[in-house]
């Protein structure tokens, strides 16, 4: 019930944005900023790029406010735009490796350290190795499988929403997820 109310609020807020209420846009941004940035981060594995793409997502939402119609869930629309931008970026091969990837791992490590209250150096190193394996396993997935897993696992979107975001049928989404999870299980089984 709460989830349904939240979805209705999203549509209601966006309709207010359409009517010229920028405060409602700020509320939508507050609610969806982190999920969109985190989704894009897991897709492109580069924080500056993920934030740049996320800004483009919200920019396009704001840009099209005048013609907004609540024909689908707001989150479906949001992640459709985000997925499109992420897949384009991956396809265009603008990923930068090397120093930036190392920085990402350091950032993740710092976040982990705060959460774990000063783990040992050995624990930190072990965590960094495991994290690197997870990231590489995700990165090795074909882009659309990756997007489907990100939306299914981390954003907890329904199959219908993922299907609309990816522009395919629910049946295709289930096949994608089945294959992706099978691949990830095989690759990460030793980490369990």
Partner 1 sequence: MFCMMQSKRGAEILMDYRARHLDPASRAEIERHLENCNECRRVVEAQRELWETLDRWSPPEVSENFDTRLYARIAREEAEPAWQRWARRLLHPAAPLALWKPVASVAAACAVLAVALTVHPPDHKTPGPQVHAESVDIEKVAKTLDDLDFLAPQNPM
- Is 19 or 55 the residue whose CB approaches partner 1 more closely? 55
83 touches 166 (CB < 8 A): yes
Q: What CA–CA distances, in Å, run from 125 to 108, 110, 112, 116, 191?
A: 12, 12, 11, 13, 14
- Is 7 or 128 the residue whose CB approaches partner 1 more closely? 128
State in angstroms the smallest separation of the CB of 11 from partner 1: 16
* Extended beta strands in the chain, E state: none
- Is 9 or 159 the residue whose CB approaches partner 1 more closely? 159
- Is 9 or 187 the residue whose CB approaches partner 1 more closely? 187
- Is 73 or 144 the residue whose CB approaches partner 1 more closely? 144
State in angstroms the smallest separation of the CB of 107 from partner 1: 4
Enumerate binding residues for partner 1 (CB under 8 A). 26, 29, 33-34, 37-38, 41-42, 47, 50-51, 54-55, 58-64, 77, 80-81, 84, 90, 93, 104, 107-108, 111-112, 115, 127, 130-131, 134-135, 138, 140-145, 152-154, 158, 166-169, 171-172, 174-178, 181, 184-185, 188-189, 191-192
Angle between helices 170-188 and 121-140 (to 10 degrees): 140
State in angstroms the smallest separation of the CB of 99 from partner 1: 16
Q: What CA–CA distances, in Å, run from 143 to 52, 150, 155?
A: 19, 11, 17
Region of 96 on the Ramachandran plot (φ > 0 left; ψ -120 to 50 alpha; else beta): beta
State in angstroms the smallest separation of the CB of 63 from partner 1: 7
State in angstroms the smallest separation of the CB of 48 from partner 1: 9
Q: Which of 138, 151, 132 is nearest to 180 (CA)?
A: 138
What CA dihedral angle connects 161, 165, 166 and 171, to 10 degrees?
10
């Amino acid at each position: 019930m709460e989830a349904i109310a939240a979805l209705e609020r999203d549509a209601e807020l966006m309709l207010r944005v359409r009517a010229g209420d920028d405060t409602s846009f700020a509320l939508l941004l507050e609610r969806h900023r982190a999920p969109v940035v985190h989704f894009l981060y897991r897709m492109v594995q580069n924080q500056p790029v993920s934030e740049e793409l996320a800004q483009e997502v919200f920019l396009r939402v704001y840009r099209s406010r005048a013609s907004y119609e609540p024909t689908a869930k707001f989150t479906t629309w949001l992640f459709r735009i985000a997925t499109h931008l992420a897949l384009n970026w991956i396809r265009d091969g603008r990923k930068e490796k090397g120093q930036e990837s190392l920085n990402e791992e350091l950032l993740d490590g710092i976040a982990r350290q705060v959460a774990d209250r000063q783990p040992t150096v050995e624990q930190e190193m072990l965590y960094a190795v495991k994290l690197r394996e997870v990231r590489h396993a995700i990165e090795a997935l074909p882009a659309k499988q990756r997007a489907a897993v990100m939306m299914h696992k981390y954003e907890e979107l329904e199959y219908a929403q993922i299907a609309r975001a990816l522009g395919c049928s629910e049946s295709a989404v289930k096949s994608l997820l089945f294959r992706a999870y099978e691949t990830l299980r095989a690759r990460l089984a030793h980490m369990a």
